């Protein structure tokens, strides 16, 4: 994908075999990858046989984040998948498969598409102007077996309903039915003869159902039926089911208070009413989707404490509906699914204890399999099942069910009650993540705190006692030395100590805390291939809503993590186990825009920032050590400091305001990372002079676009004074494409889509993805530190009085350069290492190539000489001649050939060893690896043969021991024998 295939093979073959081996060796050893789909939705998940003649079926789903994919039901491996919208979506969409067809049809937003069911290759993709409301496949058509797609659209902002019949071959429109009404199109359904469009007719919370009957061949209106009385239906959500493709498709809805269920057999004018048990909180209908199946359906009723079900039969001749049988109430929510095998219809009931298989004709279970104790970690909430009737002696059935649990896992339960696989699909849609150190022994932390709070003498005695006490661990420690030695020689990593998580000496072993929009949080063990250590639900988030996490703070000493939300909600849990210590559920109102992590006298704390940028008065011992920058309602930036008000409280004081200029809109803000060690304050040039870096910890980069003028302005602000330190403008920028900035050390960069001139041809303007890099120095001249030269401290609030230059003299000298990128990048991040000695890399996601790239900082150097060859002095500095285009080198793709989908954000953390930075990416997939921007200069590679090294040293020592006396004797002999 990155190179023409023949070229990359050629390059690979040209590499010495050892180099190839290193790559192979690293993949899967230092990195880990969860290939995810998102949580499957109830209506868009099914088993389907992609080849008519073969028994094997696959599982298809269109998930709640907008990934369409196929999964192997026996292994849980992903066969193919596509992120339909390019970015994560908030549920919705449609997915259908025609019986016996080798393709599946999907729809999302304004597009309808079809995909090869085995390979996932696109068959067609058509876009329309409205939004798709429903999709069905016409099982029976006139043209010799070609199945067509029916797509229902809401167009012209809800003022017209359009139904299109699209050819199953290429998506071309066979016919179109359009109606201009204020009715709300709901669903489309079909039986052998007719097509039905179901819409809501009426206005403002008092609707009834309208069924428009169309001719399958021409799409002409045959009839229009209005069912029930006005006020039967209050909202779209009341209509719970519209069957399709069955011999007698039905539409079912409930009244507002869930007391009555009303059912209409499509095509008839009458509706039938059934009463629901008291206390029903939700009702679902399950019915077969095959024309040849018996017209039976099941109503699943949930109450606060349990669930039950009723099975109904439809009489094909009269359209009468009768209740056939009911199923007893059971604890919990339970999950039902329907499967059909020609005429037979089966219902599968899954509870926490068992799987029960029923036929639609009788309430006697035809199979019941207990689930293995504790197999299903959490309750199944919905699922799909495949029932296979085995031929042979007697009647026997095989059932497997793919269920979604209330902890957002997707689990395949086999008939024997075993879990075949479990996919942590809930990790998609993550909204925040942070690295955490593995908590140290809690007792030690407590003891240390105790020592800190007592007087010096007592603390000293306490400490000596503690060390004496520690001696009892000495024998165990001595005992462990041989195993540690062998593990270090063999390169196996110790990740557990006494069954507990333990840190390692390289600092690779950390945790990642991940919070998702569905209200779950996860703890991943980075040192152990990203294994999910625990997961827990913070809050129940309603469908369509999301948990808006504004900040995560990990308190290393207490071993606790705090997650702050936007609706005055928070949750505090143990970092090591995920056990919730304290939680407050979200309120109805959004009140927090973001959270600021500030350093205070009592450690780091998260301050909630309100919608208009205000901060409520924090307690006095939370005095932030820095100015907090917030954003007001008008988009302006404000610098807030705190002054002591009434003893116990602090009151916020706005010290400066930066109004983003008229017409401009802030698109990205970047600051230096919290951990941004700088090893050297200057850069040594080829001629041994030094350019001093402008290292302002309070600098902030703000990118603002002007939609009308198509410009991007990048401002560098001082967050203490609000002063603009530098700004630059880029023309012809497309504000619709992502713009992102990153900052580290003494440089910052922004990526955007804009125009640039071609040097040899001033008239030619080309558009492309660009990255603008700027370096900040203290002065234009090498060996000069500008006005800051002799001062050992400096305050931007109190500028130095340099004659002739005024306060502005402390502005940085900025060197900038723009590069054109071969591919768009997003999720910018910079590597972090412990001391900042290693070079830095710009990390980014490649949305087109589904990979994560590490661009060496040297490549993006703004000082690369333009239009001339490098001088020997520059070469010594490592500079290369400027070339405007940076192609993505496959060797710099850190995810190698893995297909990493939908990355929204990348986070980094330093390891203990200087060479390495840890990387973690999330969005749809979860991916992590280690990055060594200056190579592994402080670690021996896995391929390094320590045994040989030790063997050689031993052999040499033995040689020295053996040969030493001989040599000495020989020397003495020579002296004696020497002629006088
Ligand atoms: C993705 O969704 C957004 C919002 O619904 C829409 O504007 C955009 O056109 C969609 N993109 C694609 C490629 O479908
Ligand atoms: C998340 O934010 C949206 C508005 O942006 C709000 O409507 C919703 O209530 C918030 N959700 C939660 C759970 O806080």
User: What is the 3-class SS of 805-858, one letter each residue?
Assistant: CHHHHHCCEEEEEEEEECCCCEEEEECCCCCCCCCCEEEEEECCCCEEEEEEHH
List the structure tokens of 872: 């020997």
Do 817 and 693 fall within a single domain?
yes
Q: Which atom of ligand 1 is nearest to the CA of 108?
A: 14
Q: Is the CB of 86 under 6 A from ligand 1?
A: yes
In terms of residue numbers, what domain contains 334? 286-414
- Between the CA of 546 and the centroid of ligand 2 the distance, in Å, is 6
Nearest-ligand number for the alpha carbon of 84? 1
Mean local confidence (pLDDT), 917-932: 95
Q: Residue 199 class from Cβ within 10 Å (0-12 exposed, 13-18 middle, 19+ buried)? A: buried
3-state secondary structure at position 640: strand
Do 696 and 817 fall within a single domain?
yes
Show Cβ contacts of residue 835 under 8 Å, excluding neighbours closer than 6 positions: 677, 679, 914
* pLDDT reported for residue 38: 96
Pocket test for ligand 1, best of 68, 109, 112, 848 (most atoms within 8 A of CB): 109
Q: Is the CB of 592 under 6 A from ligand 2?
A: no
Do 888 and 908 fall within a single domain?
yes
- Domain assignment present for residue 528? The answer is no
- The answer to whether residues 889 and 865 touch, using CB atoms and an 8 Å cutoff, is no
* pLDDT reported for residue 21: 34
Q: How far apart are CA 33 and CA 452, in angstroms?
A: 43
Hey, whose CA ends up nearest to atom 5 of ligand 2?
590
Nearest-ligand number for the alpha carbon of 518? 2
Do 740 and 880 fall within a single domain?
no
Q: Is the CB of 82 under 6 A from ligand 1?
A: no
- The answer to whether residues 597 and 674 touch, using CB atoms and an 8 Å cutoff, is yes
Other Cβ atoms closer than 10 A to 6? 8
* pLDDT reported for residue 5: 40
- The answer to whether residues 755 and 762 touch, using CB atoms and an 8 Å cutoff, is no
Count of residues making up the chain: 980
- The phi and psi torsions of 857 (rounded to 5 degrees) equal -60, -35
pLDDT: which is higher, 681 or 439: 681
How does residue 942 score in pLDDT terms, banded at 50, 70 and 90?
low
- The answer to whether residues 472 and 479 touch, using CB atoms and an 8 Å cutoff, is no
Q: How far apart are CA 630 and CA 642, in angstroms?
A: 13
* Domains in the chain, number: 4
Do 680 and 816 fall within a single domain?
yes
Q: How far apart are CA 114 and CA 119, in angstroms?
A: 12
Do 938 and 962 fall within a single domain?
no
- The answer to whether residues 430 and 923 touch, using CB atoms and an 8 Å cutoff, is yes
Q: Residue 859 class from Cβ within 10 Å (0-12 exposed, 13-18 middle, 19+ buried)? A: middle
Say whether pLDDT at 12 is over 50: no
List the structure tokens of 785: 């530190």
Say whether pLDDT at 474 is over 80: yes
Pocket test for ligand 1, best of 62, 85, 88, 107 (most atoms within 8 A of CB): 85
Do 786 and 681 fall within a single domain?
yes
Q: How far apart are CA 897 and CA 27, in angstroms?
A: 9
Nearest-ligand number for the alpha carbon of 86? 1
- Between the CA of 583 and the centroid of ligand 1 the distance, in Å, is 36
- Domain assignment present for residue 537? The answer is no
Other Cβ atoms closer than 10 A to 120? 16
Say whether pLDDT at 919 is over 80: yes
Q: Is the CB of 586 under 6 A from ligand 2?
A: yes
The owner of tokens 């006697």 is 364
Of the candidate ranges 29-38, 397-406, 498-507, 783-792, the one whose mean pLDDT is the lowest: 783-792
- Between the CA of 58 and the centroid of ligand 1 the distance, in Å, is 28
C-alpha angle 750-756-758 in degrees, rounded to nearest 5: 140
Which of these three, 372, 391, 414, is where a domain ends?
A: 414
Q: Which helix (H) or strand (E) holds 603?
A: strand 603-610
Pocket test for ligand 2, best of 515, 544, 545 (most atoms within 8 A of CB): 545
Beta strand 841-846 pairing with 917-923: unpaired
* pLDDT reported for residue 27: 63
Do 963 and 914 fall within a single domain?
no
List the structure tokens of 582: 């304290």
* pLDDT reported for residue 785: 80
Give residue-wise pLDDT tens across range 742-751.
999 999 999 9
* pLDDT reported for residue 6: 42
Mean local confidence (pLDDT), 691-705: 92
Q: Which atom of ligand 1 is nearest to the CA of 110?
A: 14
Say whether pLDDT at 753 is over 50: yes
- Domain assignment present for residue 877? The answer is yes
* pLDDT reported for residue 395: 73
Do 817 and 833 fall within a single domain?
no
Measured in whole angstroms, how far is the alpha carbon of residue 606 from the centre of its chain?
A: 23
Hey, whose CA ends up nearest to atom 2 of ligand 2?
548
pLDDT: which is higher, 940 or 366: 366
How does residue 19 score in pLDDT terms, banded at 50, 70 and 90?
very low
Which of these three, 375, 393, 414, is where a domain ends?
A: 414
Which residues on neighbouring strands pair with residue 214, listed in sequence order? 195, 221
- Domain assignment present for residue 698? The answer is yes
List the structure tokens of 726: 């530098």
Q: Is the CB of 519 under 6 A from ligand 2?
A: no
Q: Is the CB of 590 under 6 A from ligand 2?
A: yes
Show Cβ contacts of residue 708 under 8 Å, excluding neighbours closer than 6 positions: 663
Pocket test for ligand 2, best of 583, 590, 592 (most atoms within 8 A of CB): 590
Q: Is the CB of 568 under 6 A from ligand 2?
A: no
Q: How far apart are CA 351 and CA 335, in angstroms?
A: 7
Q: Which atom of ligand 2 is nearest to the CA of 567?
A: 14
R_g over Cα of the chain: 34
Q: Is the CB of 541 under 6 A from ligand 2?
A: yes
* pLDDT reported for residue 428: 96
Say whether pLDDT at 801 is over 70: no
Q: How far apart are CA 757 and CA 755, in angstroms?
A: 7
Give residue-wise pLDDT tens across range 246-276.
788 888 988 888 888 999 998 888 889 999 9
Say whether pLDDT at 298 is over 80: yes
Nearest-ligand number for the alpha carbon of 586? 2
Q: How far apart are CA 508 and CA 493, in angstroms?
A: 10
- The phi and psi torsions of 311 (rounded to 5 degrees) equal -115, 130
Nearest-ligand number for the alpha carbon of 129? 1
- The answer to whether residues 163 and 152 touch, using CB atoms and an 8 Å cutoff, is yes
Q: How far apart are CA 627 and CA 608, in angstroms?
A: 14
- Domain assignment present for residue 903? The answer is yes
pLDDT: which is higher, 766 or 46: 46
- The answer to whether residues 860 and 745 touch, using CB atoms and an 8 Å cutoff, is no
Do 402 and 297 fall within a single domain?
yes
- The answer to whether residues 82 and 114 touch, using CB atoms and an 8 Å cutoff, is no
* Residue closest to 930 by CA, chosen among 851, 854, 855: 854
- Domain assignment present for residue 863? The answer is yes
DSSP 8-state symbol, 68 = E
Say whether pLDDT at 805 is over 80: no
* Residue closest to 300 by CA, chosen among 264, 330, 339: 330
DSSP 8-state symbol, 392 = S
- Domain assignment present for residue 206? The answer is no
Say whether pLDDT at 802 is over 50: no
Hey, whose CA ends up nearest to atom 14 of ligand 1?
85
Say whether pLDDT at 140 is over 80: no
Q: Is the CB of 91 under 6 A from ligand 1?
A: no
- Between the CA of 579 and the centroid of ligand 2 the distance, in Å, is 24
How does residue 781 score in pLDDT terms, banded at 50, 70 and 90?
confident
Mean local confidence (pLDDT), 657-672: 92
- Between the CA of 545 and the centroid of ligand 2 the distance, in Å, is 6
The owner of tokens 């001719």 is 215
- The answer to whether residues 148 and 158 touch, using CB atoms and an 8 Å cutoff, is no
3-state secondary structure at position 70: strand
pLDDT: which is higher, 132 or 232: 132
Q: Is the CB of 50 under 6 A from ligand 2?
A: no
Nearest-ligand number for the alpha carbon of 544? 2
Give the dihedral of Cα atoms 832, 833, 838, 844; nearest 10 deg: -20
- Domain assignment present for residue 360? The answer is yes
Do 749 and 830 fall within a single domain?
no
* Residue closest to 73 by CA, chosen among 96, 93, 97, 49: 49
- The answer to whether residues 583 and 574 touch, using CB atoms and an 8 Å cutoff, is no
* pLDDT reported for residue 455: 79
Nearest-ligand number for the alpha carbon of 89? 1
Measured distance between the N- and C-terminal CA atoms of the chain, rounded to whole angstroms: 82
Q: How far apart are CA 811 and CA 833, in angstroms?
A: 28
- The answer to whether residues 739 and 749 touch, using CB atoms and an 8 Å cutoff, is no
- The answer to whether residues 290 and 246 touch, using CB atoms and an 8 Å cutoff, is yes
Q: How far apart are CA 791 and CA 203, in angstroms?
A: 74
Say whether pLDDT at 809 is over 70: no
Hey, whose CA ends up nearest to atom 14 of ligand 2?
567
How does residue 26 score in pLDDT terms, banded at 50, 70 and 90?
low
Q: Which atom of ligand 2 is nearest to the CA of 548?
A: 1
* pLDDT reported for residue 793: 61
Give the dihedral of Cα atoms 652, 658, 663, 665; nearest 10 deg: -70
Instruction: Count CA atoms within 13 Å of residue 118 on its CB side.
Output: 9
- Between the CA of 92 and the centroid of ligand 1 the distance, in Å, is 13
Q: How far apart are CA 606 and CA 550, in angstroms?
A: 10
Nearest-ligand number for the alpha carbon of 82? 1
Hey, whose CA ends up nearest to atom 6 of ligand 2?
590
Q: Residue 910 class from Cβ within 10 Å (0-12 exposed, 13-18 middle, 19+ buried)? A: buried
Q: How far apart are CA 607 and CA 550, in angstroms?
A: 10
Q: Which atom of ligand 1 is nearest to the CA of 87?
A: 1
* Residue closest to 677 by CA, chosen among 853, 838, 465: 838
Q: How far apart are CA 522 and CA 563, in angstroms?
A: 12
- % residues pLDDT > 90 (the chain): 49
Q: Which atom of ligand 2 is nearest to the CA of 586?
A: 14
Q: Is the CB of 85 under 6 A from ligand 1?
A: yes
What are the angstrom distances between the C-alpha of 531 and each of 152, 189, 378, 512, 513? 43, 45, 19, 10, 12
Of the candidate ranges 318-332, 499-513, 906-920, the one whose mean pLDDT is the lowest: 499-513
pTM over 0.85: yes
Instruction: Count CA atoms within 13 Å of residue 893 on its CB side.
Output: 22
Q: How far apart are CA 890 and CA 853, in angstroms?
A: 9
Q: Which atom of ligand 2 is nearest to the CA of 588?
A: 9
Mean local confidence (pLDDT), 943-956: 84
Say whether pLDDT at 564 is over 50: yes
Of the candidate ranges 279-288, 624-633, 713-722, 813-822, the one whose mean pLDDT is the lowest: 624-633
Beta strand 813-821 pairing with 885-886: parallel
Show Cβ contacts of residue 275 under 8 Å, excluding neighbours closer than 6 positions: 259, 260, 261
Say whether pLDDT at 292 is over 80: yes
Phi and psi based region of residue 392 (left: phi greater than 0; alpha: psi -120 to 50; beta: remaining): left
Nearest-ligand number for the alpha carbon of 113? 1
- The answer to whether residues 142 and 151 touch, using CB atoms and an 8 Å cutoff, is no
Say whether pLDDT at 119 is over 90: yes
Do 815 and 667 fall within a single domain?
yes
Of the candidate ranges 497-511, 528-542, 632-646, the one whose mean pLDDT is the lowest: 497-511
């Amino acid at each position: 994908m990155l190179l023409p295939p023949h070229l990359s093979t050629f390059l690979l073959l040209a590499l010495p075999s050892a180099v190839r081996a290193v790559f192979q060796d690293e993949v899967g050893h230092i990195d880990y990858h969860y290939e995810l789909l998102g949580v499957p939705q109830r209506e868009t998940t099914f088993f389907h046989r992609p080849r008519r003649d073969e028994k094997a079926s696959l599982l298809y789903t269109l998930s709640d984040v907008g990934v369409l994919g196929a999964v192997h039901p026996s292994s849980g491996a992903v066969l193919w998948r596509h992120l339909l919208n390019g970015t994560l979506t908030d549920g919705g969409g449609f997915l259908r498969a025609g019986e016996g067809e080798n393709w599946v049809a999907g729809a999302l937003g304004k597009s309808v598409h079809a995909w090869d069911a085995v390979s996932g290759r696109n068959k067609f993709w058509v876009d329309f102007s409205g939004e798709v409301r429903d999709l069905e496949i016409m099982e029976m058509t006139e043209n010799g077996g070609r199945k067509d797609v029916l797509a229902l659209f809401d167009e012209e902002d809800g003022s017209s309903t359009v139904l299109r019949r699209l050819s199953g071959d290429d998506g071309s429109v066979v016919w179109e039915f359009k109606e201009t009404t204020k009715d709300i199109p709901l669903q489309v359904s079909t039986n052998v003869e007719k097509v039905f469009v179901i819409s809501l007719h009426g206005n403002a919370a008092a609707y009834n159902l309208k069924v428009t009957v169309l001719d399958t061949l021409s799409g002409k209106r045959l009839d229009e039926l209005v069912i029930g009385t006005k006020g039967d239906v209050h909202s779209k959500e009341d209509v719970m089911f519209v069957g399709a493709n069955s011999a007698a498709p039905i539409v079912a809805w409930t009244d507002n208070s869930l007391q009555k269920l009303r059912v209409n057999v499509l095509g008839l004018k009458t509706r039938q009413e059934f009463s629901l048990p008291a206390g029903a909180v939700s009702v679902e209908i399950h019915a077969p989707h095959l024309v040849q199946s018996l017209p039976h359906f099941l109503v699943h009723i949930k109450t606060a404490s349990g669930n039950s079900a009723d099975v109904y039969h439809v009489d094909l001749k009269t359209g009468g509906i009768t209740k056939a049988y009911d199923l007893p109430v059971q604890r919990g929510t339970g999950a039902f699914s329907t499967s059909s095998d020609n005429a037979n219809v089966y219902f599968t009931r899954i509870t926490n204890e068992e799987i029960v298989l029923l036929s639609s004709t009788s309430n006697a279970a035809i199979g019941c399999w207990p689930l293995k104790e504790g197999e299903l970690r959490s309750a199944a909430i919905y699922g799909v099942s495949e029932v296979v009737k085995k031929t042979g002696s007697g009647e026997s059935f095989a059932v497997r069910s793919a269920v979604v649990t209330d902890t957002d896992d997707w689990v395949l339960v086999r008939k024997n009650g075993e879990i075949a696989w479990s996919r942590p699909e809930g990790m998609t849609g993550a909204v925040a993540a942070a690295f955490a150190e593995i908590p140290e022994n809690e007792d030690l932390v407590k003891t240390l705190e105790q020592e800190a709070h007592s007087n010096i003498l007592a603390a000293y005695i306490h400490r000596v006692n503690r060390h004496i006490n520690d001696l009892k661990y000495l024998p165990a420690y001595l005992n462990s030395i041989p195993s540690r030695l062998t593990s270090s020689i063999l390169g196996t990593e110790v990740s557990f100590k006494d069954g507990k998580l333990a840190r390692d000496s390289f600092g690779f072993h950390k945790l990642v805390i991940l919070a998702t929009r569905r209200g779950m949080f996860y703890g991943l063990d980075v040192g152990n291939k990203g294994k999910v250590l625990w997961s827990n639900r913070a809050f129940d988030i309603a469908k369509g809503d999301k948990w808006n996490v504004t900040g995560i703070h990990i308190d290393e000493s207490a071993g606790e993590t705090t997650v702050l939300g936007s609706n005055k909600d928070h949750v505090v849990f143990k970092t090591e186990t995920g056990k919730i210590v304290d939680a407050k559920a979200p309120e109805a109102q959004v009140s927090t825009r973001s959270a600021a992590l500030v350093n205070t006298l009592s450690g780091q704390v998260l301050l909630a920032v309100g919608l208009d940028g205000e901060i409520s008065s924090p307690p006095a011992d939370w005095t932030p050590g820095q100015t907090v920058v917030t954003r007001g309602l008008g988009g302006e930036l404000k610098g807030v400091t705190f002054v002591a008000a009434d003893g116990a409280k602090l009151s916020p004081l706005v010290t400066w305001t930066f109004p983003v200029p008229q017409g401009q809109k802030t698109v990205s803000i970047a600051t230096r990372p919290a951990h941004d060690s700088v090893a050297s304050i200057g850069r040594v040039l080829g001629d041994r002079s030094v350019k001093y870096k402008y290292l302002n910890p309070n600098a902030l980069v703000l990118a603002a676009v002007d939609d009308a003028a198509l410009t991007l302005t990048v401002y560098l602000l001082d967050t203490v004074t609000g002063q603009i330190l530098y700004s630059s403008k880029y023309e012809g920028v497309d504000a619709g494409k992502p713009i992102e900035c990153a900052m580290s050390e003494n440089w910052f960069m922004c990526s955007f889509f804009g125009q640039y001139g071609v040097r040899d041809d001033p008239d030619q303007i080309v558009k492309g993805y660009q990255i603008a890099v700027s370096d900040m120095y203290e002065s234009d001249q090498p060996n000069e530190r500008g006005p800051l030269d002799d001062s050992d401290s400096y305050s931007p609030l109190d500028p130095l009085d340099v004659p002739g230059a005024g306060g502005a003299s402390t502005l940085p000298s900025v060197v900038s350069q723009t590069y054109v990128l071969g591919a768009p990048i997003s999720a910018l991040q910079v590597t972090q290492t412990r001391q900042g000695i290693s070079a830095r890399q710009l990390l980014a996601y490649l949305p087109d190539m589904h990979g994560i790239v590490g661009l060496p900082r040297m490549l993006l150097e703004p000082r690369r000489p333009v239009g001339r060859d490098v001088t020997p002095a520059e070469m010594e500095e490592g500079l290369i001649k400027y070339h405007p285009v940076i192609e993505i080198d496959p060797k710099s793709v850190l995810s190698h050939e893995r297909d990493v989908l939908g990355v929204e954000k990348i986070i980094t953390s330093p390891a203990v060893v200087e060479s390495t930075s840890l990387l973690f990416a999330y969005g749809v997939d979860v991916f992590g690896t280690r990055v060594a921007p200056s190579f592994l200069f402080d670690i021996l590679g896995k391929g390094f043969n320590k045994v040989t090294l030790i063997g050689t040293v031993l052999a040499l020592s033995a040689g020295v021991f053996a040969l030493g006396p001989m040599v000495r004797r020989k020397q003495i002999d020579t002296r004696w024998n020497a002629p006088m």
